[in-house]
Structure 1
Amino acid sequence: MNDLLTDEELTELTGYVFPSKQCAALTRAGISFIRRRDGRPRVTWTHVNAALTGVRHSVAEEEDRPNFDAI
């Protein structure tokens, strides 16, 4: 389930062949990915399925800062 998508699967999923277009399509779909050195996106099936089911992982909050708006 945590396997990486192949280049062919990415093409089928996004509908694009060019890596820059694939990255843009993944971003629009809310699927997180990493970009390889050659510019191609790498994503796991877990990330794809989470985006399709609407599951969002909570992001750790940044450390507490003063509320400058209150001043």
Structure 2
Amino acid sequence: METAFGEGLDWQERPERISSKVSIELKLEADGFVSDSWAEMTEWFTVTLPRFAQALEKPLSQIKASQASVQKGVE
């Protein structure tokens, strides 16, 4: 996923759950409470989030396919 995304991601395993958390960090000196920062933040979101979503597509489709095959085995 990091290769597809083009930079490092923050991985947080959650052993007590069946899920983990993957996130990206806004690396700007922007303050979300100051309206002067909003244009820079909006630009970051509009560029970064589509790349993140695209990087997730293949792993998520593999998970869905795996779950579908398990479901077929249960039926």
TM above 0.5: no
TM interval, shorter chain, is under 0.3
Structure with the higher helix share, 1 or 2: 2
TM-score normalised by structure 1 residue count: 0.27
Question: Radius of gyration: which is bigger?
Answer: 2
Q: Compare relative contact order (CA 8 Å, sep 6+) and give the higher one, 1 or 2.
A: 1
TM-score (norm 2): 0.26
